[in-house]
């Protein structure tokens, strides 16, 4: 490893450890303060924008940051890291540019504060992962394609993506554009958890951490859990409080466990 790469790794790992510390603090805070969007929207968080606009702003910065730091000074990226880039962009093609336009009731408000916090979170995760694959692409040789960590990670990544997309479809089907209120989701991962879409996304980024086998990838999985687990528990309590006939055997986000 060159001296530049060694210095880059030390600096990047320092940023990553600090970012993990912020994730732990955020995880604890979200048990006391539920992010005010979706069913948990409430006044007191400043000006608002339509949810569709907020989602695009929040999610689009992740692939842009990843792509910028992946390509910065990298004239010949390793073929395997280009494959990783494809996985990352595939997720965000849906999250930033397809999902927002398929949302029902997309004109409901989202606090600008929430959108800005989401943009910051996504830009940092895009930076860390893109920069890691830029600096250390030499670690991913052709032999990595047959490594169990890579194979397991790819299976988890796409399994989680399918669960996430299928769960989003179930939620969209519950109401028409002009129909207010919520219903109990059924089918797919919702047979086991209240937040099948969150479960799918969590599995997806655990797969990413595994297939890249990097501290940067692990950080993304940790942040996903820090954001989604407290929110899933809040959703689960809301379902139980709102619907007397809500299935008692369901967990919040991890089947049979949590």
Give the whole-angstrom CA distance, residue 246 versus residue 254.
17
H or E segment to which residue 124 belongs:
helix 112-135
H or E segment to which residue 110 belongs:
strand 109-111
Residue numbers in the chain where pLDDT is lower than 50: 3
The confidence score (pLDDT) of residue 41 equals 62
Indicate the DSSP class of residue 235: H
Do 50 and 115 contact (CB within 8 A), yes or no?
Answer: no
The confidence score (pLDDT) of residue 176 equals 62
CA 22 to chain centre: 16
Give the whole-angstrom CA distance, residue 238 versus residue 35.
14
Q: What is the pTM of this model?
A: 0.90
The confidence score (pLDDT) of residue 231 equals 92
What's the angle, vertex CA 119, arms to CA 118 and CA 122, rounded to 5?
85
b/e for 122-155, b at 16 or more Cβ within 10 A? bbbbbbbbbbbbbbbbebbeeebeeeeebeebbe
């Amino acid at each position: 490893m060159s001296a530049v790469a060694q210095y880059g790794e030390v600096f990047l790992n320092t940023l990553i450890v600090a970012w993990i510390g912020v994730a732990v603090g955020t995880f604890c805070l979200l048990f006391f303060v539920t992010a005010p969007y979706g069913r948990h929207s409430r006044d007191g968080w400043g000006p608002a924008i339509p949810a569709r606009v907020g989602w695009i702003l929040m999610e689009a910065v992740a692939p842009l940051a990843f792509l910028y730091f992946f390509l910065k000074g990298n004239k010949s990226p390793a073929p395997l890291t280009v494959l990783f880039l494809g996985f990352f962009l595939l997720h965000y093609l849906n999250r930033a540019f397809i999902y927002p336009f398929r949302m029902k009731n997309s004109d409901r408000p989202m606090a600008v504060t929430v959108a800005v916090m989401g943009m910051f979170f996504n830009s940092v995760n895009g930076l860390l992962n893109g920069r890691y694959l830029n600096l250390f692409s030499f670690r991913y040789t052709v032999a990595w394609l047959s490594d169990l960590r890579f194979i397991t990670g790819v299976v988890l990544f796409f399994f989680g993506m399918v669960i996430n997309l299928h769960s989003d479809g179930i939620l969209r089907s519950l109401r028409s554009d002009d129909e207010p209120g919520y219903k109990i989701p059924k089918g797919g991962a919702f047979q086991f958890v209240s937040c099948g879409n969150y479960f799918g996304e969590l599995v997806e980024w655990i797969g990413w951490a595994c297939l890249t086998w990097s501290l940067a990838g692990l950080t993304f999985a940790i942040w996903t859990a820090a954001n989604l687990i407290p929110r899933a528990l809040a959703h689960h309590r809301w379902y139980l409080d709102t619907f007397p006939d809500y299935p008692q055997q369901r967990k919040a986000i991890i089947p049979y466990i949590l």
